[in-house]
Amino acid sequence: MKKSIYILLFALLSVGACDDGFEELNVNPTKPTQVAAGNKLTAVMKFISSERYDNWRAGMIYQSTMMQHVATTAGYWSGDKYTWNKGYASSLLDRYYGNAVKSIEDLTVQLEEEEAPEEMKAIVKILRVFTYSRITDLYGDVPYSEAGKAVIEGIFLPKYDLQSEIYPDLLKQLEEASAALGTGTSDFGAADVIYNGDQAKWKKLANSLMLRLGLRLIKVDPTASQAWAAKAIAGGVMTSNEDIFYLQHDADNKNGIGEVFTADGNPRMSDTFINFMKDANDPRLTVLASLPENTGLEDADGNAILRTPAERLDPANQVGLPNGLDSDLLNDLTGEEDVQAYSEPNRLLITSEIAPMIFQTYAEVEFMLAEANVRWGLAGDAEAHYNNGVTAAMKHLSLYGADGTIADVDIADYLTANPYDSTNALEQINTQYWAATFLNEYETFSNWRRTGFPVLTPVNYPGNVTNGTIPRRLTYSESEQSTNPDNYAAAIAIQGPDVLTTRVWWDVQ
């Protein structure tokens, strides 16, 4: 992407920052005072991908380890041990409301004032739904109807809307957006750095997100869940990896997760995930995992012994680290003093700062279609969708580069050895969903809470705050207790205590 997004962000943050009287003295009447809508759209997409801060804390430290994709002995990786770092837990709220939400609400108003085409409004509406769905799925009841309105309407202390009221509106917004989109090119054009203005792809995304959010309702309102799933399928969902919803990063616009791995060498692959792949002879194993270059050992001259790339990528050498350990517990368990013998996310491929940030894939859609068929007889044949999902999940790893390409014959062999099992369909489908959403931990955590799959064995780290159970949500910003105390108090009075074990509305027992 050849855009200097950081310049755009600076411009956005500068708008409206003038002192009283400055505007009248310094406005050039021949130039527009509003940042162009297209520039704002590009910035919004970056804000949704976000930065190292929240990708590190909410995404990786908490969710990737709770979902046993990743493990680490580092004590500050709280999610690996079910301990509570309130600042880490609230990091998505802190970044999304200050950046993505504020910018989306501003852009929404601008498009209305400029009487922009409906297709442009629809694209922003879809991004808005995605943003709020990520927030509410992680926290539950959150500011929605009054969010991002400080400048627009002077609302500085927004109320927290019930998730039970947010979800119907999100789904309604997707339905409206899908209806407004056609097959041509949006007036956003190249400013749309995700789909390059392709309305048909945005329409598929609207329906694919509708399918995702519709299925979220399965435990709390199965009837509504089925109805929204059917509507999404009828509207037309993703049909190939060409439709994947992702943002490609570059040297000027770095991937926040990639920046995490630049800064932090502690993460290792969880033994839960490594064993899943090794047991099934999964060709994704050494696309996703590799051993560290440094063995942690020294030769007779005191030089570090390094592994070759071939040694790092040998499937037989991959070893996962158990979750819930610190360095002392690891030493007690294994006698090892470091984690250099354990696989890490593949530093030769997937942890780059210019890697794509993936939000929703065609593979996920195929797995949801398989589930919809199992549950309600919708969408054709569950086995075909399962096979399509596995195939797509393996093929989309080529987004990380040529070394992520998995041969068709390897995919076919995997499906032959691990065929669709109609007697255990929901677990099998959603375990594959878990594998396919590695590094998109927001979606992994939400789908696990929705389905209970894969079946994960909790840890019981000393001093954990969940009584040895996997958390069900993250927690609100501590600052809300002092800056917005009445609305904060009202939210926890309805939803329940602001702790890691309180369930969000759709995650009923």
Q: How far apart are CA 190 and CA 194, in angstroms?
A: 9
Averaged pLDDT of the chain = 94
Angle (CA) 445 166 40, round 5°: 85
Q: How far apart are CA 101 and CA 91, in angstroms?
A: 14
Label each residue of 41-89 as H, E or C: HHHHHHHHHCCHHHHHHHHHHHHHHHCCCEECCCCCCHHHCCCCCHHHH
pLDDT tens for each residue of the chain, 509 residues long:
433 444 344 444 443 333 343 334 344 554 456 899 999 999 999 999 999 999 999 999 999 999 999 999 999 999 999 999 999 999 999 999 999 999 999 999 999 999 999 999 999 999 999 999 999 999 999 999 999 999 899 999 999 999 999 999 999 999 999 999 999 999 999 999 999 999 999 999 999 999 999 999 999 999 999 999 999 999 999 999 999 999 999 999 999 999 999 999 999 999 999 999 999 999 999 999 999 999 999 999 999 999 999 999 999 999 999 999 999 999 999 999 999 999 999 999 999 999 999 999 999 999 999 999 999 999 999 999 999 999 999 999 999 999 999 999 999 999 999 999 999 999 999 999 999 999 999 999 999 999 999 999 999 999 999 999 999 999 999 999 999 999 999 999 999 999 999 999 999 99
What does pTM read for this prediction? Answer: 0.93
Q: How far apart are CA 88 and CA 92, in angstroms?
A: 8
DSSP string, 380-395: S-HHHHHHHHHHHHHH
- Which element (helix H / strand E) includes 199? helix 199-216
Inter-residue contact 236 to 204 (CB < 8 Å): yes
What is the predicted pLDDT for the residue at 32? Answer: 52
